[in-house]
Structure 1
Amino acid sequence: MKMLIGGEWKAAASGREMEVVNPATWETVGTVPSGGHEDAGAAVDAAGEAFAPWADLPPVERGKVLFRTAVLVREETERLAATLVAEQGKPLREATDEVRGFAHVLEYYAGLSSSLYGESINTKAYGRIIVERRPLGVCAGIIPWNMPVMIAGWKIGPALTAGNTMVLKPASTTPLTTLAIGDLFLKAGLPAGVLNIVTGPGETLGEALVTHPVVRKVSFTGEIGTGRHVAETAAQTMKHVTLELGGSDPMIVCDDADLAVAAAGAAGGRFYNCGQTCTAVKRVYVFSDVADRFRELLVEKTRAITVGDGMEKGVRMGPLNNAAGLERIETVVEDVRDEAEVLVGGKRPEGKGFFYEPTLITGLPVDAPSLREEVFGPVLPVVEVEDLDEAVAAANGTRYGLGASIWTKDLGRAERGCRDLEAGIVWVNQHLKAPPETPFGGVKWSGTGRENGPHALERYTEEKALLIRS
């Protein structure tokens, strides 16, 4: 496949290409251009030319294009989901849900397009004050490989609805489905240049987008180190920035919780997408009085997970997406073997693919350093605590603050969890779900800004004040 620039499919200016590999089989499933600074410049130029006509369209007309694209995506769900499995590795059921979720996001913002608003204030001293919300201009979206389709929707939907144009850079390991969706945007009538999709390494292509003086906003999803660099670099040209930088999401299981439901929630919340989700359950704090029974139920749920190629029937967990991720998970488990007990898993199966068994660990002290970092893979530590005070303190004892959950039947405990847990989103008796109506983002080092909901629309606009005296 080629890059989408200005409504046309183009190779990289350098002629170089990158292979896309199936993480379950190590087979090459496609090639894409390996773009650089020249390609980024061409995409930004195309987006710049398309901006004024697109921004001048009535918002409802922009929404109609998004809705038509959503219809085409739903019609092509089977093909798109199979492509997503091949490049990312997740089971077909999860890939299908993600593609449908992308369509849902577009439908949501298409609906919001009729309600974009400003403010009007009448004053005696100054006349009428009107506050308009104007689109920013050319925006850059940099998306990761773990949820490439859904996160693309979180950036494209509000950006285009608000009247901006966009240059989107998918991760190098998962560009194929995003490019296929780009073609559907064109078929739905999106004007050339409004959405451009470029492929290439982050250190060249991504850097070129972040430094380009015409780009007015960068929305980046990825890890903390890169996110800090994006923020520092974007500040040089006063760009707007949204950063979602991962999390170490805690799950607190109180002694009055429905343990069977909580165990199912922990297994689903951790091992979905092979644990490669920013808001996955990364650590469980369970009250000591019910810890033994909770572990028994969680072990049962974990052992029932079938691992394999995502296209195979009955598979519930695929491989990690890449070799580096697999190596990190192996290191994490080996580093804690001396102080913890591995209840389930703890090793890589034989054969091809970046597979690792779903793994449960117990026995770590509540202040173990490994509990404070993000573990991006199928490893779940279960830690005993005495009460809610200890659980909340441990949950907050990290630089991350993306998501958290508390499992209890007590309304007072639930309210305290919602109030005191340092996270951008807190679930009660559930974890992981983030519908497009929900503002999504973190506190502390998990990032700045929000995606989803009407809040995201605001972050793709800026206020313009008009003072009118008749």
Structure 2
Amino acid sequence: MTTVAAPTIRNVINGERVEPATGSEHFEVLDPCTGQAHLRAPCTGAEDVDRAMRAAASAFEEWSRTTPGERQSALLKLADAVARQAAEFSEAELCDTGSRDAASEIDGIVDELRFFAGAARLLDGVAGGEYAPEHTSYTRREPVGVCAQLAPWNFPLLMAVLKSAPAIAAGNTVVLKPAQTTPSSALLLADLAARILPPGVLNVVCGGPATGRLMVEHPVPAAVSLTGSVAAGVDVATRAATTLKRTHLELGGKTPVLVCAEADIAEAARTIVTGAVANAGQDCTAASRVLVVEAVHDQVLEALVAEASARRPGPPSEPDSAYGPLNNPEQLAHVQRCVDTLAPHARVVTGGHRVGDRGFFYAPTVIAGVREDDDITRTEIFGPVITVERCADEAEALRRANSSQYGLASAVWTTNHRKAMHLSSELDYGTVWVNTHLQFPSELPHGGFRQSGNGKDLSRYGFEAYTRIKQVTHRL
């Protein structure tokens, strides 16, 4: 039987697909549904990183001088082009992620492109005026320069757009590295952008952590954006600090979900399980840690187990599957290790195992009896796993939630308005959902506190992060 070699993809630099430097290595991109290689991509080295950075720096000279209206028009055209090729983008996401959740994000991605196109024309600043006698002053918002951007593998196209669209709308140019396991959709985006934007405005290079470090350490970028783990964030911040680059870090999360005694238990269980297994739990805001008051603990646990047991993972070709595979074999091993090393007082109530021997599928899992200092309550699992903690009351649940190293997102389930207002104000998290989960309108900011990083995605704040402020004063 003859094995067909996986096709090789190339970087997009200065508006063109380009061959890597002589002697460059390549890596295989696996289909998570099968575990088999379906693409080969270059491990971009120093020569090609420099080539991309120089292209972006050259393009910045003209792109930074375009008017907000011109940038808006270009991004609206790009949004329309993505919408027209939605099927192609969805297929690329399916091949790299095996996830219908990632592939179904196209409408939201188009909306984000259009949102940031509009944001380009709504720059805020201090009103021009005479703030000192016989002097007129005003402020200018300007692009920061070339932006090095490192995207994760859980929602590849969505994260590529969340990073590149606000930067480009503000007049910057971009060198983007998609995750090593999910390069396809970002390269397709760069191909489309090359027909609409000037060459060098959006460049995409493939590679792993070594390529990312070359990008961060390169002298050209003025800013670095990463979505990834806390360890990756520390590494990026440390390397960027040597040249005082601006950093935007959206890091890990461990979302506490507080369930109060008067909550609608059936609705809470349905929404929590959906928020825990969507995209196989590979979401930094997944509903992974449930804190339940003593009065309804047993009922909530029973409802969660019933909901989880009714879902099963499978490839997109199986319409009755609830979610797809984990992204790669290392992630599968990490999830299994977290479950296998439970403290003696904790127990797996349902799930806790791989599904099948082909691909990286994992069963929806509910773990009861955990305590607040257990590793599994402190570690970001990034899989379809829910832990359930018994709390004496809402005050104890709140204290436990706020003791986490993370501060990205949280949720409250209650029908008591006063309690909802109190808990949402006291939860030390960048997002608080009340009686809902996983809501991300383009107009609202997304970003966390503590070790979940700094800076915001989405909203006007995600746009302003890619600008710098200059004060100008004229003597009359």
**TM-score, with structure 2 as normaliser:** 0.95
**Aligned AA (1:397):** S
Q: Which of 450, 453, 457 matches 1:451? A: 457
SS in 1 for 2:437: coil
Alignment partners' CA distance in 2, 1:294 and 1:150: 33
Decide which of 398, 412, 417 is 2:418's aligned counterpart.
412
Partner of 2:117: 110
Using the alignment, how far apart are the partners of 1:280 and 1:60 within structure 2?
A: 37
State the SS of the aligned residue for 2:269. Answer: helix
Contact 1:40 1:198 in 2 (8 A): yes
Where does the alignment leave 5 or more consecutive residues of structure 2 unmatched? Answer: 1-8
Kindly indicate whether the alpha-carbon contact (under 8 Å) linking 1:263 and 1:298 is maintained by their aligned counterparts in 2. yes
Q: Give distance in 2, aligned partners of 1:123 and 1:283.
A: 51
| Pair 1:11 & 2:16 matched | no
Indicate if the aligned counterparts of 2:102 and 2:156 stay in contact, CA closer than 8 A: no
Distance 1:58 1:385 in 2: 55
Cα deviation 1:252-305 (Å, max 9, x = unaligned): 010111111110111011101101101111200111211222222212211121
- Tell me the CA shift for residue 126 of structure 1: 5.2
Partner residue of 1:327?
333
237-246 vs 432-441, greater mean Cα deviation: 432-441
Answer whether contact 1:367 1:394 (CA < 8 A) is retained: no
Inter-partner Cα distance in structure 1 for 2:108 and 2:319: 22
Q: 2:353 aligned to 338, 347, 352, which one?
A: 347
Residues 406-432 of structure 1, C-alpha deviations (whole Å, 9 max, x = no match): 111112211122111111111111122
Q: Which amino acid in the other structure matches residue 109 of structure 1?
A: F
In the alignment, is the contact (CA less than 8 A) between 1:85 and 1:311 conserved in 2?
no
Give 1:157 deviation, angstroms.
1.3
- SS state of the match for residue 410, structure 2? strand
Counterpart residue type for residue 86 of structure 2:
T
Pick one of 130, 140, 143 that aligns with 2:148.
140
Residue equivalent to 2:207: 200
Greater mean deviation of Cα atoms: 232-241 or 362-371: 362-371
Question: Residues 66 and 311 from structure 1, CA distance in 2 versus in 1: closer, same or farther, beyond 3 angstroms?
Answer: farther
Give the alignment partner of residue 166 of structure 1, picking from 174, 180, 199: 174
SS in structure 1 of the partner of residue 418 of structure 2:
helix
Query: Contact 1:55–1:164 at 8 Å: present in 2 too?
Result: yes
SS of residue in 2 equivalent to 1:357:
coil
Aligned mate of 1:181, from 189, 195, 203: 189
Deviations 1:390-409 (A, max 9, x none): 00011112111110011111
Query: How do 1:236-315 and structure 2 match up within 5 A?
Result: 236-315=242-321
In the comparison of the two structures, how many residue pairs are matched? 466
Residues 259 and 412, structure 2, Cα contact 8 Å, conserved in 1: yes
2:322: which partner in 1?
A: 316
Q: Secondary structure at the match of 2:406?
A: coil
CA offset at residue 339 of structure 1?
A: 2.0
What is the CA–CA distance in structure 2 between the aligned matches of 1:311 and 1:338, rounded to whole Å? 39
Which moves more between the two structures, 163-172 or 67-76?
67-76
In 2, the alpha carbon distance for the partners of 1:370 and 1:349 equals: 21
Deviation at 1:337, TM superposition (A): 6.2
Higher mean displacement: 217-226 or 22-31: 22-31
Work out the CA distance in 1 between the residues paired with 2:106 and 2:42. 24
Letter in 1 for 2:438: L
1:464 aligns with 2:470: yes
For 1:351 and 1:451, the matched residues in 2 are separated by: 37
Question: Structure 2: how far apart are the matches of 1:84 and 1:15?
Answer: 26
Q: In the alignment, which residue of structure 1 is the partner of 2:32?
A: 23
Once residues 211 and 15 of structure 1 are traced to their aligned partners in structure 2, the CA distance between those partners, rounded to angstroms, is 20
Alignment correspondent of 2:217: 211
Give distance in 1, aligned partners of 2:39 and 2:117.
Answer: 32
Query: Could you tell me whether the CA contact under 8 Å between 2:102 and 2:154 is conserved in 1?
Result: no
Match for residue 160 of structure 2 among 149, 152, 176: 152
Give the TM-score normalised by structure 1.
0.97
d(CA) in 1 for partners of 2:134 and 2:425?
A: 41
SS at match of 2:137: strand
Distance (Å, rounded) in 1 between the aligned partners of 2:102 and 2:380: 23
Q: Residues 217-228 of structure 1 correspond to what in structure 2 (within 5 A)?
A: 217-228=223-234
SS of residue paired to 1:56: coil
Between the aligned partners of 2:184 and 2:105, the Cα distance in structure 1 is 14
- Structure 2 Cα separation of the partners of residues 458 and 432 of structure 1: 24
Deviation at 1:450, TM superposition (A): 1.1
Partner of 1:123: 131
Fraction of identical pairs, as percent: 38
For residue 76 of structure 2, give the secondary structure of its aligned residue in structure 1: helix
Contact 1:4 1:10 in 2 (8 A): yes
- What are structure 1's unaligned runs of at least 5 residues? none
Contact preservation (8 Å) 1:126, 1:467: no
- What is the letter of the counterpart of residue 113 of structure 1? A
In the alignment, which of 379, 385, 406 is matched to residue 400 of structure 1?
Answer: 406
In structure 2, which of residues 104, 109, 116 is the aligned counterpart of residue 97 of structure 1?
104
| Residue aligned with 2:120, SS | helix
CA distance in 2, matches of 1:31, 1:316: 29
Work out whether residues 252 and 452 of structure 2, in 8 Å CA contact, stay in contact via their aligned partners in 1. Answer: yes
Higher mean C-alpha displacement, 369-378 vs 157-166? 369-378
Provide the secondary structure at the position in 1 that maps to 2:142. strand
Contact 2:230 2:452 (8 Å CA) reproduced: yes
In structure 1, give the amino acid aligned to 2:123.
Answer: L
Q: How far 1:233 moved relative to its partner?
A: 1.0
